[in-house]
Amino acid sequence: MKEWTIKVFKDKDANKDVFEEWMAEQDIEAQEKIRARLDMMSITKTWDRPYFGNLGDHIHEVIVECKNKQYRPLGCFGVGHVFILLIGATKTGGLRRGSTKWDPPDAIATARSRKELVKTDGRYIGDYRPRERRTKTTSKK
């Protein structure tokens, strides 16, 4: 049974799901790991390390690693048991204060501004509808 509903930030003018656009740019294996983590989180009551972290200012990161790359979808909590994915990002470094590098570099600032938009205008919130999962195909000779 689902404990949480996952939502996404959408560009209300273009009616685009910005999270799925970011996902489409990622490696297929990473996409599957991110989707699996979100599926797991939707049925888990309490979220915490090592799968979920608080970045402050009510911005949180979903923690996924794949092929030595750190994927960090950023989001915020909505009303009730709702989590809204605000932006997809990757992260490098992080062991020393100030050594963390985000891609895109303004990921946290973008998440903060989008969090304010979703708080005041529900048209920025869309349903999380993962695109049909792609499978790797092999060619037959």
Collect all residues with Cβ–Cβ distance below 8 Å to 88 and sequence separation of at least 6. Answer: 18, 19, 22, 23, 26, 71, 72, 73, 74
* 3-class SS string, 14-60: CCEEHHHHHHHCCCHHHHHHHHHHHHHHHCCCCCCCCCEEEEECCEE
Residue pLDDT, tens place only, 58-115:
999 999 999 999 999 999 999 999 999 999 999 998 656 667 899 999 999 999 999 9
**Is a pLDDT exceeding 50 seen at residue 116?**
yes
Q: Decide which of 138 and 105 is more confident.
A: 105
The secondary element (H helix, E strand) that includes residue 112 is helix 107-120
Residue pLDDT, tens place only, 23-67:
999 999 999 999 999 999 999 999 999 999 999 999 999 999 999
pLDDT of residue 8: 97
Q: Decide which of 133 and 118 is more confident.
A: 118
How far from the centroid of its chain's Cα atoms is residue 141's Cα? 39
- 16, β-bridge pairs: 11
pLDDT of residue 13: 81
pLDDT of residue 95: 59
| 3-class secondary-structure state, position 4 | coil
pLDDT of residue 86: 98
